[in-house]
Structure 1
C-alpha cells in the first residue's frame, strides 16, 4: 500500500471539491446574510460618496473586499450595510454624517437595481432571495449616531435603519463601550443607564429595531440581554474563549444568548479570530464551532466586517470566499440544516421575533435625556423645561428648590 502514497493528496483535493460543491448547492437556495459590511465607509473615504465617479463603479471597484462580482461569487443574498461615523463626531456632526451614510446606501440600491434591493423587513429579505438580488439593509454602527435623542432614533428607523449598535469604541451618555473592560475607558453607566439607556432599548423593541451588542462592554451586553423583550444580535463579534479580545463574547454571555434566542455573527478580523496579525479560515470555523457548542446551532451567523478591517484570514480575503467557509463547516460534519441556519435562517428567525415584539400602537418613549448628561459646548437647550422635576437629579432638584424658595423669601 505504501506505493500509493501519491494518491492521498488527490483524495484530499477531491474531498475538498465535494464539500465546496455541496456548499455552493446549499447557497444557491439559502444565500448568506452578512451582519456587517463597511463598504459605505470606503465609498466615503475614497470617493466622498460620489458614486458616479468612474473608479467608484461597483461592478469594477478595486482595492476593496466588496464589489458586485465578489458578492455574486460569494453567494451573498443579504447584507447589513454599515452606516458608520467615527466616535470623534460625537457631540458634533454625528447625526449629519450618519444621514449621509444612510443616503449612500439608498443610492447604491438606486444605481444598481439589478443587484441591490433595499429592504426593511424579514419578508423583504425573502423576496430579494426569490429575485436573486442582494437584500440591502441598514445597520447604524454606534449609539452616538442618535445624539442621545429618541426623536433621532425614530427618524433613523423611518429612513430604514433596522439595527443600532448601542456603542462603538466610545461611551455614550447612556451606555458603556468595550474599552471599559480593557481599562482604557472609565465606566459611566454601569452598562446601560437606568433611565435613558433602558428607554432606548424599550423604544427599539417598540419600533422593531434589532439591538446590536457588538462593541459594547460586558455589563452593557448583560443589561441589554436582560432588558430586551426581543432577541438581540452581535453583528460582528467572535468568541472570547478562543481569543481573549474584549470585542468578543464571553461564555457566560453566550449562555444568555442561548436563553434569549439571540445571535452571534462571527467577525473575521484576524485580531479577533486569533489575537494576532495572522489567522486562517480554519480558526474562524473554530469560533463558529465554539458558539454552536455553548449557545446552540441557532445562535451562529456570519458578520465578516469586510471593508472595515485591515487584516483578514487566509482563505477569507474578500466576500467571494464565503463558500470556502461553508465547505469547512460541512467538512466538520455540520448538518445541512445547521449550515442553512448560520447562512440565513438564524438571522431571519431573530428578525421575525423582533418584528413580532414590536408594537407601533403603543405610545412612544418621550422623556428626553437629562440635560446635564450632555456635552453642551456645541448644542442648544431648546425644549428643556425650567421645571426642575423633569430633568434634574435629586440633589440638583433640592438645590433648585432651595434657590427658588430663597428667591421668594420663604426661608
Structure 2
C-alpha cells in the first residue's frame, strides 16, 4: 500500500477529516519501549514490518502512523515511579534525547514541533509533527528549574503525576495524601502556564484535576484518559470535571486502553494481576467501546473539546482490530459510519489540539 497519509481509511468523511487536520495523537510510549527493548535505537522505524510479513516488534512505526492518518505525535518521555530524585530526571532526559535523535535520523519524515504553527509547517512539508510530553511530575524532582529546562528542550506538556502521588499532587491510582495539589503543586501549574507548557491532567486524582483547573490560566489537556461515567475506572475523568473543560478551553484526548474503556475487561485484568490462573477468559473489547467514550464526551463537553490519545506501546493489549497504531484508522472509520461529519472529525483529529497549542505558545 502506498505510504499516503490516511491511506488505510475507508470512509470518505474520515479521509476528508485528516486532509483538513491530520490526527494529533496525545500519547505514545515508543521511547520507553525503545529503552527497554532496543537500547534507545532509532533505526528501522521507517519500515512497516507487518506489511512485509514480519512480526513487528512495536505497536508504532512511522509508516503505520502515516497510513492511519496521524500527522502529529506527542512522544511520551517517562520515568517509572520507582525512579525518584535525580534518577527520574535522568530517565526523562534520556528519552528527550531519543526523540531529538529520532527526528534527526528521519528529517524527511519528522519535524520537531512546539507551536501550532510548527505543526502546520510540518504538515505542509508532508512530515509528522513530533512533540514531547513528560509523563509524571516526579520527573522534575521537585525543582522548577528542572521544569524550565524541560520546557527549553521542547517538552510541551507534563502529566502532574503518574501512577503514584508526587510530594505535591495526588494521583488517581494512589491513596489520597494531599487532597489534590499542595501549595507547591499550584506553583508548578503557574510556572507551566508561564512557560507555555500544557498542564496534563491524565493520571491525576479528581481532586487534583479540580485544583489545577482552579489555578490554571491556560487550557489543559488530558493526554490519554476516557470517561468515568462510561467506565468507572480511576484513570478516567468524571463528568463534573469534563463539564469544566468548555470554560477552560481544554481538550480530553480519549484513550483506547482496554481497562479504561470496558468495565468487564478492567475487572478481568485486575483479577489477572492477582491470580492469572483464575481470571477466566478475556472479555472482548472492540472499537465500539472506544466510540462510546468519544460520543459520551461529545455529549458532555461538545465536539470542540475532544481529541485522541491512543497510548500505544504503553499497554500490551488493545481493542480488537486496534492492536497497533493502525487502530486510529479503525476508530475514525467507525465514527464516520456513525454519521460524524468530516468537519467534526477534523476537530477531533487535530483542530482542537491546534487551538490549544496556539493558545499556550
TM-score norm. by structure 1 comes to: 0.78
The number of equivalent residue pairs is 330
1:155 corresponding residue in structure 2 = 149
Using the TM superposition, give the Cα deviation of residue 315 of structure 1 relative to its aligned residue in structure 2, in angstroms.
2.6
1:245 has 2:233 as partner: yes
* Residue 321 of structure 2, aligned match among 315, 318, 328: 315
Q: Which residue of 1 aligns with 2:39?
A: 48
1:162-184 residue CA offsets vs partner (Å, 9 max, x unmatched): 0000000111111010124xxxx
Ranges in structure 1 where 5+ consecutive residues have no aligned partner: 1-16, 356-411
Q: Which residue of structure 1 lines up, in the alignment, with residue 334 of structure 2?
A: 328
The answer on 1:21 being equivalent to 2:12 is yes
Structure-to-structure mapping, 1:357-368, within 5 angstroms: none
Query: Match for 1:259 among 247, 250, 253?
Result: 247
The answer to whether the 8 A contact 1:261-1:350 is kept is yes
Query: Contact 1:75/1:322 (CA < 8 Å) preserved in 2?
Result: yes
Supply the RMSD in Å over aligned alpha carbons. Answer: 1.6
User: What secondary structure does 1:308 align onto?
Assistant: coil
Residues 34 and 302 in structure 1, CA contact (< 8 A), matched pair in contact too? yes
8 Å CA contact 2:9–2:68 kept in 1: the answer is no
The answer to whether the Cα contact below 8 Å between 1:176 and 1:220 also exists between their aligned partners in 2 is yes
Q: Which residue of 2 aligns with 1:268?
A: 256
Deviation at 1:92, TM superposition (A): 4.8
Deviation at 1:320, TM superposition (A): 2.0
Question: Paired residue for 1:197?
Answer: 185
Higher relative contact order (CA closer than 8 Å, sequence separation 6+)? 2
- Secondary structure of 1:93's aligned partner: helix
C-alpha separation in 2, matches of 1:213 and 1:58: 32
Match of 1:73 in 2: 67
Larger Rg computed on CA atoms? 1
Structure 2, gaps ≥5 residues long = 1-7, 50-55, 266-282
How big is the shift at 1:190? 1.2
Aligned to 2:198: 210
Spell out, residue by residue over 1:276-317, the C-alpha distance to the aligned partner (whole angstroms, 9 max, x if none): 153111110110000000011111110000110111011322
Q: List, as ranges, runs of 4+ consecutive aligned residues in structure 1 with deviation greater than 4 Å.
A: none
The corresponding residue for 1:169 is 163
Offset at residue 60 of structure 1 (A): 4.8
CA contact (8 A) 2:11 2:337 kept: no
How many angstroms apart in 2 are the aligned matches of 1:26 and 1:146? 37
Classify the secondary structure of the residue corresponding to 1:164.
strand
